[in-house]
Chains A and B, each alone.
Chain A
């Protein structure tokens, strides 16, 4: 069965070539991920700045082209979609962007961004029906239509604006929504409401989610499976419960250890081997990208890039510490994912 949306060995390299001084940067290195029509899943792509997660978002949405590899929608390369296919693509794949300010055209009231998909995709039979759809969508995300419709973006809070964007994506009834850091620009106390809305989209409407973020906590709250990226490559992947509770990769451990828990009795911190300096040493590098910062680095780490070792039925780690485990055969990460119980 053809997958709904998939990235096949996508790699994105910036720079290089005769007009760029300095070497090239591999933003994303050979990532293969599949999203099927059924069943609806929630996958988190987690990484810090420079991890490649933003690049991944742009590639899978067709906003950028991979240097090598392909992004396919129902078997067709995104670059080769004809008009009808492109229309279908937009019906099936929707997005929520990070910035709740810039996503609104300041000229229009927020109604505009909800009316547009109804008009363009002909989702309603009449104006009244369209209005009904909008009211429903807003209520589903926990907003009161009478308090939001008719307002200009600047009259609403960041959380409200972002929830309207969730409602917008919902209107189209896509099969999958790519959410690119949807809560990072919202106050911590308001994030819960947006995350709730996203969870509802999955539970109630059977929409798959790709949740891209640097915030492991919300990733844990929302998703079933997680892909941890470091400098463009996958460092750990699998069942989010296991990965977060028992992290295997030293980087994942560092990441989790650095999260400040809202609990004074639970102190944070893991001793990082090397403090943050000009750690831009990526690109063409032998060995594991994390070697210079890894507290458990071994000789082989600087010689050979670690493959993904499958350490359990539903997890894999790209670290030589686990080289006793079998190397993951398939390139598609989904083979490791756990299905929702």
Chain B
């Protein structure tokens, strides 16, 4: 005898965090995607307006030291950062999950070898490598940056997925699947993977967060793509031109706010996914 209200509360309890986080992330994404329909791209370029002007009717977030409209800069820069993060996150997790699945399911010598490689690579400080590689490469495209970050992001998911696979592999329903005539492929993708999906999704959100952070960090240091606007690049210019000292709050505050909202959203999403993957973490009754 479940009233509509009860059902609503139940859904909210189970998916609330995920929904809240998703809303925040979507807002940020829309900001970038819809914003460009309203604000022309020229506004984000050098000389779009008089430099270092505080917010006005014409430039809602003012202009930076080189005359870029800050709002336009952010509108066109946010999707770049998101893009890098998503590509790096997806590739990293996909590759890592595949490695983890193989290592965990096949076992034996294959597992040993993979495990040793992954463990060694994990000891390398990722950010440092990123900085070195990026500075060596000079001009870097968005896609290249994403792949560089992905190359260092796959190890952790590999390890985590392997551990999960080891647990699930011994479950009785896997044995039953074997007796049902399922091939190894069918077992991996038909039986193991569905149980891994919530886990993978949580991992993915984490990986995307990390990738966005890495890309913003690298761009802030001037090691990212310079030809397109991005959040990190905005920081770079802000630091280079001493926005803080000049008290140009309209320049450095908005990107910080965007980043906070974005990461808050991603965090809530990962908490929400964790909750779904781990029903025991749910609240009582």
Contact = CB atoms under 8 A, between A and B. Distances in A.
B172 A107 contact: no
Contacts of B171: 102, 105
B171 to A, nearest CB: 6
Contacts of B175: 63, 95, 97, 103
A113 B176 contact: yes
Interface in B167-181: 171-173, 175-181
A113 B172 CA distance: 12
B176 A97 contact: yes
A168 B182 CA distance: 14
Contacts of A87: 181
A206 interface: no
Contact of A105 (B179, B186, B191): B191
B181 A107 contact: no
A94 interface: yes
B181 A103 contact: no
Nearest to A104: B173
A55 B119 CA distance: 36
Given A90-B179, A90-B181, A120-B180, A102 B186 contact: no
A103 B179 contact: no
Interface string A109-141: 000010011001100000000000000000000
Interface residues of A, number: 21
Interface in A69-109: 87, 90, 94-95, 97, 99, 102-108
Contact of B181 (A99, A106, A121): A121
Given A99-B172, A102-B173, A120 B195 contact: no
A105 B181 contact: no
A105 B178 CA distance: 13
A90 B183 CA distance: 12
Interface in B130-177: 171-173, 175-177
A176 to B, nearest CB: 13
A245 B154 CA distance: 65
Contact of A113 (B180, B186, B195): B180
Contacts of B195: 105-107
Nearest to A93: B179
Given A105-B195, A106-B195, A117 B180 contact: yes
Q: Name which of A63, A97, A99, A116 has the most chain B CB atoms within 10 A of its CB.
A: A116
Nearest to A91: B181
Contacts of A165: 176
Given A105-B195, A107-B194, A107-B195, A116 B177 contact: yes
Given A105-B195, A106-B195, A120 B173 contact: no
Contacts of A121: 181
A104 B181 CA distance: 15
Nearest to B191: A105
A117 B181 contact: yes
Contacts of B191: 105
Given A102-B173, A105-B194, A168 B180 contact: yes
B184 to A, nearest CB: 12
B45 to A, nearest CB: 51
Nearest to A165: B176
A107 B190 CA distance: 10
A63 B183 CA distance: 16
Q: Name which of B171, B179, B182, B186 has the most chain A CB atoms within 10 A of its CB.
A: B179
Interface in A151-174: 165, 168
Contact of A95 (B173, B179, B182, B183): B179
A113 B175 CA distance: 12
A168 B186 CA distance: 18
Contacts of A90: 178-179, 181
Contacts of A99: 172
A231 to B, nearest CB: 26
26 contacts: A87-B181, A90-B179, A90-B181, A95-B175, A95-B176, A95-B179, A99-B172, A102-B172, A102-B173, A103-B172, A103-B176, A105-B171, A105-B191, A105-B194, A107-B194, A107-B195, A108-B194, A113-B173, A113-B180, A116-B177, A116-B181, A116-B182, A117-B180, A120-B181, A120-B183, A168-B176
Interface of A: 63, 87, 90, 94-95, 97, 99, 102-108, 113, 116-117, 120-121, 165, 168
Given A97-B176, A107-B194, 10 more contacts: A95-B179, A103-B175, A105-B173, A105-B177, A105-B194, A113-B173, A113-B176, A113-B180, A120-B183, A120-B186
- Those 7 A-B pairs whose CB atoms lie nearest each other, nearest first: A120-B181, A102-B172, A116-B180, A107-B194, A105-B173, A117-B180, A103-B172
Interface of B: 171-173, 175-183, 186, 191, 194-195
